[in-house]
Amino acid sequence: MSISDKKQQWAEGIVAKNIAKTPERKKEFGTTSNIEMERCFSPDFEYPAYEERLGFPGQYPYTRGVQPTMYRGRFWTMRQYAGFGTAKESNERYKYLLQAGQTGLSVAFDLPTQMGYDSDHGMSAGEVGKVGVAIDSLADMEVLFDGIPLDQVSTSMTINSTAAILLAMYIAVAEKQGVSADKISGTIQNDILKEYMARGTYIYPPQESMRIITDIFAYCKDHVPKWNTISISGYHIREAGSSAVQEVAFTLADGIAYVDAAIKAGLDVDEFAPRLAFFFNAHNNLLEEVAKFRAARRMWAKIMKERFKAKDPRSLMLRFHTQTAGCTLTAQQPDNNIMRVTIQALAAVLGGTQSLHTNSRDEALALPTEDSVRIALRTQQVIAYESGVADSVDPLAGSFLVESLTDQIEKGAFEYIEKIDRLGGAVEAISRGFQQKEIQDSAYAYQKSIEGNDLIIVGVNRFTIENEPQPELLRIKEEVEIAQKKGLAETKAKRDNNAVNEALKALGSAARGTDNLMPHILAAVKTYATLGEIADVLRDVFGTHKETVVL
């Protein structure tokens, strides 16, 4: 028997003994995407010579990172997602986070703001300020960023259907601070396709929504050059129940659709592609998540170079923000979520993220308290300053397991993209319910594995505690909605309503024609036309989307 055979026999014996001692341990070892995890990669394992094809960080195909020095040059942006109640309350939270060491802002908006309704609309009842800050007009936006210099702080806004309106408000606030539009930096999510398949905060039909998005691309190219005009989001796709492979595939398929639409609208690919950004989820399977980020980077570089013939190296770079997985947080034993978030944040850093939000321990129960937010931010800071993982670029490169997973995720994701192409692209595939059904099937299988105890969730289906005490939670009071309605009424009473009506009329005419909508939205915002009034003008012209029923 050879030495290699003896090693194999010895290893198999050890594994068999361990399995016998721990019968609750599952015997099938696979990732969330059903990629089989090899037990062990031995030194004589036959696998491609990675050193010959991996290349270097900062070089095509960017598997190892978009910057040659990555975190040795500067850490990722620590951008905690925050917003609740009134603009004043959220402004205070932003200042608290900046004082605690946060390096960028990330704004959460309430559901009425996301759906294009003012706080006094009947559809807004009970939702004002609940899952984010309520923004009805430029007056609220001025309060939200009061005392925060917009030429020094980068701001991300998680907003989609009403992204053009909120961006216009941000530009107007900056101008009031004396900061020109070409000096502000940040990101709007502006990714409507994932809303149709995974999240649901859409307003207009797909084609009309795509027009608004490409209008934003064109406007920002000329007037807001430092702004990332879209954050193509896999985060919500994963939150809806997709696997890691599906998250990459459906996100990049959406990216292809946006690039196609922009080119058809007359834009040159290298004019807008460098400002595209992505937004991914980070889950608990650390090594699969690291591989997922590396695969996504490599795939996008190939797509942009080979499919769209982009020539600017910046057009080939997949730059992304990461948020830890909200759907993995448990209401039971919420302190366990600190460990989950740490694993997920570590995966994002090892995978080369450009910015990161870490969820708070109590978010399965309510909006986070200040103490919980501080712990979440400190998690990033400990990883950055104490763990040592940021000292080397792509430290897991060449690992047989990580490189194998990277290859398999890339292969599986490209197979999905080919299916979507055959259906006519992401928009047409969504209209047929393809992505929705795939996500639903994946979510069902995941939930079934938990209920069958094939997947152990600590504190939920194993290691539970009876009569568990509940932590102190942040609660949004009913007075928030009352105050918001009062402020809105005061704004409407003080503004020049003739100017508002003229601006809204001009916007309606532009929507019925082919003019870029952004200058008209900005003009309306500056008259203190409300978000709901502007959205209603576009509703009247474009109509509203009806959800596809997936059988």
b/e string for 474-496 if b means 16 or more Cβ within 10 A? Answer: bebeeebbebbbebbeebbeebe
* Whole-number Å distance between alpha carbons of 322 and 310: 25
Burial class (CB in 10 A: 0-12, 13-18, 19+), 22: exposed
> CA–CA separation, 22 vs 17, rounded Å?
9
What CATH number does residue 390 fall under? 3.20.20.240
| 83 contacts 501 by C-beta, under 8 angstroms | no
Helices 531-542 and 163-176, axial angle in degrees (round to 10): 140
DSSP E strands, 247-328: 276-282, 320-324
Residue 229's nearest CA partner among 202, 280, 179, 192 is 192
Q: Got the DSSP string for 111-140?
A: HHHHHT--TTSGGGTTTTTSSSB---SHHH
Token pair of 381, please? 């800071």
Asked whether the CA dihedral 529, 171, 234, 342 is positive or negative, the reply is negative
Please compute, for residue 76, the number of CA atoms within 13 A of its CA located in the half-sphere on the CB side.
Answer: 33
* Residue 315 falls inside a structural domain: yes
User: Is residue 58 situated within a structural domain?
Assistant: no
pTM of the model: 0.89
The domain of 394 spans 73-451
Please give the Cα distance from 479 to 476 (Å, whole number). Answer: 8
* Within a domain: 525: no
Q: Is residue 426 part of a domain?
A: yes
pLDDT along the chain (551 residues), means of 10: 49 46 53 83 60 81 95 92 89 92 90 97 95 96 97 94 98 97 96 94 96 96 95 96 98 97 95 95 97 98 98 98 97 97 98 96 91 95 97 92 94 98 96 95 95 94 90 84 96 97 98 98 98 98 83 52
Question: Can you give the pLDDT at residue 23?
Answer: 39
Instruction: Quote the distance between the C-alpha of residue 323 and its chain's center.
Output: 6
**Secondary structure class of 106 (helix, strand, coil):** strand
Evaluate whether residue 141 is within a structural domain. yes
In a domain, 184, yes or no: yes
d(CA 262, CA 268): 8
> What six digits make up the tokens of 415?
């197979």
378 exposure class (CB count in 10 Å sphere: 0-12, 13-18, 19+): middle
Q: What is the pLDDT of residue 322?
A: 97
Q: What pLDDT is stored for residue 81 in this prediction?
A: 82
Determine, yes or no, domain membership for 506. no
Q: Is residue 48 assigned to a domain? A: no
The count of structural domains within the chain is: 1
